[in-house]
């Protein structure tokens, strides 16, 4: 994969051109849009910009492209890869398309232009969007009726799939995983699919994880495919890469969980994790034309109609994704991912030396430590994340991010070591 790194000055210039290409609420005759720029009377207090209270923020908004985009407040309603888009914001919409091209073509292996997608309010919506698209596709191509579409995923899968099942009338079937390897076994997958068939399921959406939320584990899609084929079930596969989409492909370039694999219909990514975008920045991608299954034709006042769960969405977050991708370039982001994995390697080597039990996929920067090895006070002090809050935790999760200094990891290891000597 390759995309060019741009200088900070070039990024500022490109964003300024994009904003200038949008409608200008300050100077243009804009009477029909319900939105506006962020008003100084609401976002300034006592004559002082709230931004000046942030020590690292420049007082010159024109020199801060993301903050300027927030103030200008572009609306990216619709899907800019599939149809014409709202006429007021073509400049920043073009940056969204460019960011999507990097994600779909360079990172996820799609042929040029052979995809649709949008930058969503998060990975949860992207997963729901995928299930909506694929459910409608199965309804059209296999005459699936309510109750006849199953949603099959590992028991470690993100809770958004349960939301999708509830909202879309899908029948959820979690496949048990090994407590040590976090893998779906063939027998478990076959038993789960057989139960779905007995319940009257005629076709399925299979979800494969590129990094589960708690463990960072990577699912084996062949296990699900074999179970679906044994029972002669029509199926489509979705990849939930919310956790791993911006790290796993950079560490393991030759993998089967992207659009190079003809079985993959759609992919979720999440820019507010490894890409360091603002919270509420997911990415939905699917093969070209599939998004037509959810075109809301009743959105007649929207230029180009709407294809998304959310409708109106922030153009500023789309610009943030573009900026982050262009600021790093493919080489810079690859180096960053590899450094994080190497630091995680060193951390796990220390756990091994202490005899501490944990799970970690070798290509991920995520470690889940067995709860009995971590004192509860230590877990609270370091804000470790448990696998469950409503019962005694079985695992505590650590993610090695840029802000996690080696000294902090050393302090944690010392406390774990004291507990287990």
> What pLDDT is stored for residue 54 in this prediction?
44
Return the CATH number of the domain spanning residue range 90-315: 3.40.640.10
Query: Among 381, 406, 384, 382, which Cα is nearest to 393's?
Result: 384
Candidate CATH numbers 3.10.450.350, 3.40.50.620, 3.90.1150.10, 3.30.70.120; the one for domain 330-419: 3.90.1150.10
> What does pTM read for this prediction?
0.94
Spell out the SS3 assignment of 224-293: HHHHHHHCCCCEEEEEEECCCCCCHHHHCCCCCCCCCCCCEEEEEEECCCCCCCCCCCEEEEEECCHHHH
Distance between CA atoms of 100 and 106, rounded to whole angstroms?
Answer: 10
Cβ–Cβ under 8 Å, residues 208 and 257: yes
For residue 196, give both structure tokens. 């779905």
> What pLDDT is stored for residue 395 in this prediction?
97
Which DSSP symbol is given to 102? I
Distance between CA atoms of 279 and 270, rounded to whole angstroms?
Answer: 9
Q: Block means of pLDDT (10 residues each) for the chain, length 421 residues? A: 94 94 88 80 54 44 78 94 91 98 98 98 97 98 96 98 98 98 98 98 98 97 98 98 97 97 98 92 97 93 92 95 96 97 98 97 98 94 94 96 95 91 70
Distance between CA atoms of 34 and 165, rounded to whole angstroms?
Answer: 33
Q: Which helix (H) or strand (E) holds 359?
A: strand 358-359
Q: Which helix (H) or strand (E) holds 120?
A: strand 115-120
Distance between CA atoms of 146 and 162, rounded to whole angstroms?
Answer: 17
Cβ–Cβ under 8 Å, residues 19 and 12: no
User: Edge-to-edge strand order for the sheet containing 115-120?
Assistant: 115-120, 282-287, 264-270, 235-241, 203-209, 149-154, 171-175
Tokens 């024109």 belong to which residue?
62
**Could you tell me whether strands 44-45 and 48-49 are parallel, antiparallel, or unpaired per DSSP bridges?**
antiparallel
CA distances from 236 to 10, 232, 403 (A): 41, 13, 38
> What pLDDT is stored for residue 29 in this prediction?
86
Question: What's the length of the chain?
Answer: 421
For the chain, give every domain's residue range.
8-74, 90-315, 330-419
CA distances from 159 to 15, 66, 95, 175, 209 (A): 36, 31, 31, 14, 12
Tally of CB atoms within 10 A around 102: 20
Distance between CA atoms of 354 and 416, rounded to whole angstroms?
Answer: 9
* Farthest-apart Cα atoms in the chain, separation: 72
Distance between CA atoms of 401 and 409, rounded to whole angstroms?
Answer: 11
């Amino acid at each position: 994969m390759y995309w060019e790194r741009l200088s900070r000055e070039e990024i500022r210039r490109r964003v300024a051109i994009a904003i200038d290409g949008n409608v200008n609420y300050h100077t243009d005759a804009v009477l029909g849009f319900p939105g506006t720029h962020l008003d100084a009377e609401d976002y300034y207090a006592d004559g002082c910009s709230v931004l000046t209270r942030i020590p690292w923020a420049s007082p010159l908004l024109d020199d801060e492209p993301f903050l300027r985009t927030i103030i200008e407040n572009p609306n990216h309603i619709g899907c800019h890869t599939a149809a014409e888009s709202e006429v007021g914001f073509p400049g920043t919409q073009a940056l969204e398309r460019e960011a999507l091209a990097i994600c779909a073509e360079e990172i996820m292996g799609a042929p040029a232009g052979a995809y649709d997608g949008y930058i969503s309010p998060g990975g949860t919506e992207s997963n729901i969007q995928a299930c909506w698209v694929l459910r409608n596709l199965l309804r059209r191509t296999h005459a699936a009726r309510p109750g006849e579409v199953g949603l099959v995923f590992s028991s470690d899968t993100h809770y958004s799939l349960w939301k999708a099942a509830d909202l879309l009338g899908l029948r959820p079937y979690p496949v048990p995983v090994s407590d040590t390897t976090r893998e779906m076994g063939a027998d478990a997958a076959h038993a789960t699919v057989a139960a779905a068939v007995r319940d009257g399921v005629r076709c399925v959406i299979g979800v494969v994880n590129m990094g589960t939320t708690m463990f960072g584990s990577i699912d084996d899609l062949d296990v699900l495919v074999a179970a679906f084929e044994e029972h002669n079930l029509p199926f489509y596969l979705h990849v939930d890469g919310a956790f791993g989409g911006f790290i796993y492909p950079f560490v393991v370039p030759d993998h089967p969980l992207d659009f190079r694999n003809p079985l993959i219909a759609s992919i979720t990514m999440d820019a507010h994790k490894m890409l360091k975008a603002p919270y509420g920045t997911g990415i939905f991608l699917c093969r070209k034309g599939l998004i037509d299954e959810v075109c809301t034709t009743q959105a007649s006042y929207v230029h180009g109609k709407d294809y998304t769960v959310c409708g109106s969405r922030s153009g500023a977050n789309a610009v943030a994704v573009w900026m982050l991708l262009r600021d790093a370039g493919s080489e810079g982001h690859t180096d960053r991912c590899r450094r994080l994995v190497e630091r995680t390697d060193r951390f796990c080597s220390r756990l091994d030396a202490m005899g501490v039990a944990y799970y970690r996929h070798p290509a991920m920067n995520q470690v889940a430590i067995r709860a009995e090895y971590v004192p509860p006070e230590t877990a609270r002090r370091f804000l470790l994340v448990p696998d469950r809050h409503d019962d005694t935790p079985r695992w505590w999760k650590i993610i090695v991010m840029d802000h996690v200094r080696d000294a902090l990891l050393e302090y944690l290891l010392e406390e774990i070591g004291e507990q287990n000597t």
